[in-house]
Structures are given as structure tokens and as C-alpha cells.
Amino acid sequence: MDNLTVIVLAAGGGTRMKSKTMKVLHPIAGRSMIGHVLNAVAAVEPTRVVAVVGHQRDQVGPHIIDLMPNAVLAVQETQDGTGHAVRIAMEASGTTTGTVIVAAGDTPLLEGESLRAFAAEHEAAQRAVSILSGRVPNPFGYGRIVRNHEGDVEAIVEEKDASPLQREIDEINSGILAFDAEFLVSALPRISNDNAKGEYYLTDAVGIAREDGLTVGAHLIEDVAQTEGANDRAQLADLGRELNRRIVTRWMKDGVTVMDPATTWIEADVVLEPDVVILPGTQLLGATVVREDAVVGPDTTLKDCEIGAGARVVRTHGELAVVGDQANVGPFAYLRPGTQLGIAGKIGTFVETKNAQIGDGAKVPHLSYVGDAEIGEGTNIGAGTIFANYDGVAKHRTVIGRHARTGSNNTFVAPVSLGDGAGTAGGTTVRRNVPAGALAVSASAQRNLEGWSESKRPGTAQAEAARTAREQQEKTAE
Ligand code: UD1
Ligand code: CA
């Protein structure tokens, strides 16, 4: 398509969302609604894209430019109808020739391929206007496609202006239309607002084309969900579920095992490799990538994470974390931004990590916090270890070398380091650097006060247990 203009309408208020966020900016499958539409539009490689903004354009305009820097923004101060909006768009872009497609900004299931096929059919048929139409079980609220006895499209009649007979028609205007630009330029000034809503209906261009003796046609889309918009949050959730179902199905067709599609959520920009296994209750969000043979879930949420081949991530919450090939994470791990786990490494149960580089084969198996740290390859961190990175004012780093072995219940008071092959005893609070190969011991020597329970806690169960044990011991000693 060498001269294609796409106009995306996004000036309406979307009051039924009851939100301070503009309707088309509400997210669905990890992108804004209009983000999905722009993605489909970009796939058609149009010559130019014009977005009509009005309501809350300080929110909507920058978002559109962010996603599509070359888009032209046309401002519609008052929402006087789709015909008025398109007129403003045509003036803003200076388009007078080629093909013009008009779409709405709130149809997140729209696919580029459908737009492309529609535009191609419109151009091949050399029509003045083409309508992407659909058949719906409940056509209420839509513009109806009125055909004559020959079956040719005569007009689009809006709900409020339709006769009872016309309201029976179940072929509807999806809201996506294609025009010959020259015809559109001539038709727009001829559209009046003399109708039930007092708006300039773009759909009146169909009747005008017929009066001019020009060709009009409708291209029925099988998959009407692609043209469905969300007007309130219930519809947004419905479309979200349907879009998710489509995304999950696509990944299954590409070789991913999804045990329970109904409880698996995969956002639009996630990338999965073949033979990945996703267990129930898993959400893969943002730019998450999961490499082949990795198993994720159950009950795991990963946002912008990279999971290596063959890794296992169980009951985990992760964000901006990288997990190496064959590594193990969870159950009940919290991977915060900047976590990097090496090949075959382990971040185990009730472990929180943040800005932590954990080397190949290194393990943090149990009940630990690892923040602002580097742990060398093959090192094992004892259960219940805290990397005390925060002194109340600033964050500091802990560096632990290769093949170190640290005892349970240690505290590393950063900034501090432990050399290669070094160790620590259980309960050590490491405040000073430990050289390579040394064992750090900081806990004070243990004292046992014999008979303490019986003398200091007489009459308690503790004292009673102590007495029984003592008598048992005395008996064996006899
Ligand atoms: C419109 C169509 C109807 C179609 C339906 C599909 C017209 C007159 N009617 O009706 O035939 O079946 O869509 O959903 O076109 N907008 C603006 N500026 C305006 C008015 C609307 O940008 O002045 C935008 C809205 O933000 C929305 C889109 O255009 O994205 C459609 O407008 P809306 O008011 O929802 O039209 P409908 O009454 O649903
Ligand atoms: Ca609508």
C-alpha cells in the first residue's frame, strides 16, 4: 500500500470507565488499549498515522507519540462526532489522495493482518467506501448496515436514528472504515449533524457515496472480537480474558505446555521458547523471556524477568531478575530488580534478593535476605543469612568470593568482603573483611549454667523436664 493514511480516533471521554485514567490508556495484556491498536496499525506499514485526541489529551497525546513518534496528533476540542473528528484529522495531515482507514483507539484485540486484508480488499475493489462489518448476537448500540434488494450497502443507520425494522439488522459497522481519500475530502463537508445525537456521523459518508453513484461495500470480519471496544471495566475484563486466551493459545501452538490456560496470564510482549512448561496460577508480565525447557509455576508472577533454559521457578514473585540456565528458584522466593542468578545456581525458600549477582552454582537455599551483594561461583550461603546493606542512611555492598562456605544465621554488615574459599562459623556477624581461605568466628564462647532450669524455674514444665532428664541420667550412671 503506497499511500495509506490511518486515522485512529481517541478523543472521546470514556466516562463509563469512571476513571481518572483516560479509557484508551487502560492496560490490557501489558499494553494500553490504544497501544494494541497502534501495534496493529504499525504492522500495515501505513504512510502516515493521525491520532485524534481531545479528552485528557495531555495524557493521551504523549503516550501515542511515545509509542509511535511519527504519528500526527490532531486535536478535537469538542467531541462533535466521528465525522467531525475525521475532518480534523484530514486537515491536520493534509491528506488528499490514497486510501484512508479510520479505526477507534479502544479495540485492543485488533490484529494487523485483519487491517491489511481489509485495506487490500478495499483498494482491489476500487470503492469509495468500505465498511469492516460484523455479525453480532446483540447489535444494540451499533450502526446497522442497511442493504438494498440486490444486497448492496445503501447506508449505515445509527441506533438512535434506526427504525424498529432496521434495529432488527444484525450486521453492524465495526467502526473500522476505509475510504478513497479524494471522496472522503469531498464528503466530509457534506455531512450534517441533523440527527438524533446532533453529531456529525462519519457513517453518513456511506449514503453520500451512494448518492454520488460511487461504490460502497462491506467486508464481513469473521472474528468480531477484534473490533470490540471496552466501554466500562467489566467489558475491559472480558476483553482481557479473551486476549489472554488468544495469547496463551498461540504459545501452546508454538510448543509451550500450559497446564491450566484459565489461570495462566501471559502479556503481549512476553517471549517463550518451545518446551517451556507453565504450571497453574502463573502470570508472565512485561518483557519476560523464558528459555526452552524451563518450568515456571505454580503460583508465580514474573515481570520483566529472563529465565534460563531448563531452570525451575516455583511459587516465586520476580521483577527485573535474570535466572541462569538450569538454576532453581523457590518455593517462596522474592526476586527484586537487579537479581542475577548464575547457571545451576539456587535461590531457595523464603529468600529475598535485590541487586545481587549470584554466581554459577552458588546457592542461597533458605530464609535469607541478599541485598546489594556479589556471591562468587560455587559458594554456599548458610540458612538464615542477612546481608545488612543499609546503615540507615546509605546502601553498601557485600562481596563474597568463590567456593566460600558461610555458616547459618550470619549477618554481613556491608561494606564487607569474604575472600575466595573462606568460611564463617554459625551465628557470625561479619563486620570486617575476611581474607581468602580464613574462617571468621565472631560469636562469643558459649557457657552452660548447669542445673539452671531446676533452680531458677521451679514448678514449671521446663524444670520438670529437666528433672526427669537428670534422674534418667543418674539412673543410667548407676
Ligand atoms: C460508532 C459508529 C457506529 C459503530 C460503532 C462501533 C459513528 C457515527 N458511529 O458509534 O456506526 O457501530 O462506532 O463501535 O461513527 N470519537 C472521537 N471524536 C468524536 C466522537 C467519537 O474521537 O467526536 C471517537 C471515540 O473516542 C471512539 C470512536 O470515535 O473511539 C467511536 O465513537 P463513539 O462515540 O464510541 O461512537 P459510537 O456511538 O459507538
Ligand atoms: Ca463506541
Rounded Cα–Cα distance for residues 379 and 366 (Å): 14
Cβ–Cβ contacts within 10 Å for residue 100, how many?
30
User: Per the annotation, does 9 bind a ligand?
Assistant: yes
Q: Is 355 annotated as a binding residue?
A: no
Q: Is residue 74 within 6 Å of ligand 1 at its C-beta? A: no
Residues 6+ apart with CB under 8 A from 394: none
CATH class of the structural domain 4-227: alpha beta
For residue range 458-467, list pLDDT tens digits in order. 999 999 999 9
In this prediction, residue 459 carries a pLDDT of 97
Residues known to be catalytic? 366
pLDDT at 292 (0 to 100): 98
Determine the straight-line distance between the first and last CA of the chain, rounded to whole angstroms: 103
Q: Evaluate: CB of 369 within 6 angstroms of ligand 1.
A: no
In the chain, domain spans: 4-227, 233-440
Enclosing H/E stretch for 103 = strand 99-104
Cβ pair 403, 376 in contact under 8 A: yes
Q: Residue 266 is which amino acid?
A: I
Per the annotation, does 253 bind a ligand?
no
Task: Give the single-character DSSP code of 54.
Answer: B
- CA-to-CA separations, 45 to 40, 119, 183, in angstroms, rounded: 9, 12, 23
Interatomic CA distance for residues 345 and 311, integer angstroms: 9
Nearest-atom number in ligand 1 for the CA of 23 is 26
> Which ligand places an atom closest to the C-alpha of 12?
1
354 labelled ligand-binding:
yes
Q: Let me know: does 221 contact 227? Beta carbons within 8 Å.
A: yes
Q: Identify the three-state secondary structure at position 312.
A: strand
Q: Tell me which CATH homologous superfamily contains domain 233-440.
A: Hexapeptide repeat proteins (2.160.10.10)
Whether residue 104 has its Cβ less than 6 Å from ligand 1: yes
DSSP category for residue 110: -
For ligand 1, is residue 227 a contact (CB within 6 Å)? no
Cell 508465580 appears where?
300
Q: Is residue 295 within a helix (H) or strand (E), and if so which, with residue range? A: strand 295-296
Residue 13 confidence (pLDDT): 84
8 φ/ψ angles, rounded to the nearest 5 degrees: -110, 120
Beta bridge mates, 375:
358, 400
Helix, strand and coil content of the chain, in percent to the nearest 5, comes to: 25, 30, 45
Q: Are 129 and 209 in contact (CB under 8 A)?
A: yes
Please tell me the residue having the least CA distance from ligand 1 atom 26.
Answer: 12
Closest CA to 292 of 314, 273, 306: 273
Q: Which three cell numbers stand for residue 356?
A: 545481587
**Is the C-beta atom of 82 inside 6 A of ligand 1?**
yes
How far apart are alpha carbons 106 and 144 in whole angstroms? Answer: 20
β partners of residue 32:
27
Regions of the chain where pLDDT drops below 50: none
C-alpha 22 – ligand 2 centre gap (Å): 14
Q: Check pocket membership of 81 for ligand 1, CB cut-off 6 A.
A: yes
For residue 37 and ligand 1, the question of a CB distance below 6 A is answered with no
CA of 82 to the centre of ligand 1 (A): 6
Sequence-distant (6+) residues with CB within 8 A of 198 are: none
Task: Report the sign of the C-alpha dihedral through residues 470, 472, 477, 478, in that order.
Answer: positive
Which residue, chain included where needed, has cell 526476586?
335
Contact 362, 376 (CB under 8 A): yes
Q: How remote is the CA of residue 228 from the centroid of ligand 1, in Å?
A: 12
Give the 3-state secondary structure of 327-344: CEECCCEEECCCCEECCC
Q: Judge contact between 380 and 361, C-beta under 8 A.
A: no
Of 53, 55, 58, 105, residue with least CA distance to 74: 53
If one counts every other C-beta atom within 10 angstroms of the C-beta of residue 328, the result is: 18
Q: Which three cell numbers stand for residue 221?
A: 470480519
For position 443, what pLDDT does the model report?
A: 83
| 12 is annotated as contributing to ligand binding | yes
* CA pair distance 335, 331, nearest whole angstrom: 12
pLDDT at res. 190 = 98
Residues linked to residue 257 through DSSP beta bridges, in sequence order: 277
Rg (the chain; Cα; Å) = 33
Best residue among 25, 34, 82, 102 to mutate for probing ligand 1's pocket (most ligand atoms within 8 Å of CB) is 82
Strand partners, 178: 101, 130
pTM as predicted? 0.94
Q: What atom of ligand 1 comes closest to residue 201's alpha carbon?
A: 8
Q: What is the pLDDT of residues 189-245, one digit of tens each?
A: 999 999 999 999 999 999 999 999 999 999 999 999 999 999 999 999 999 999 999
Q: Please say whether the beta carbons of 33 and 23 come within 8 A.
A: yes
* Helices 112-125/33-43 angle, 10° precision: 50
Q: Which amino acid is at 469?
A: A
Other Cβ atoms less than 10 A from the Cβ of 310: the count is: 17
Q: Is the dihedral of CA 361, 362, 367, 371 positive or negative?
A: negative
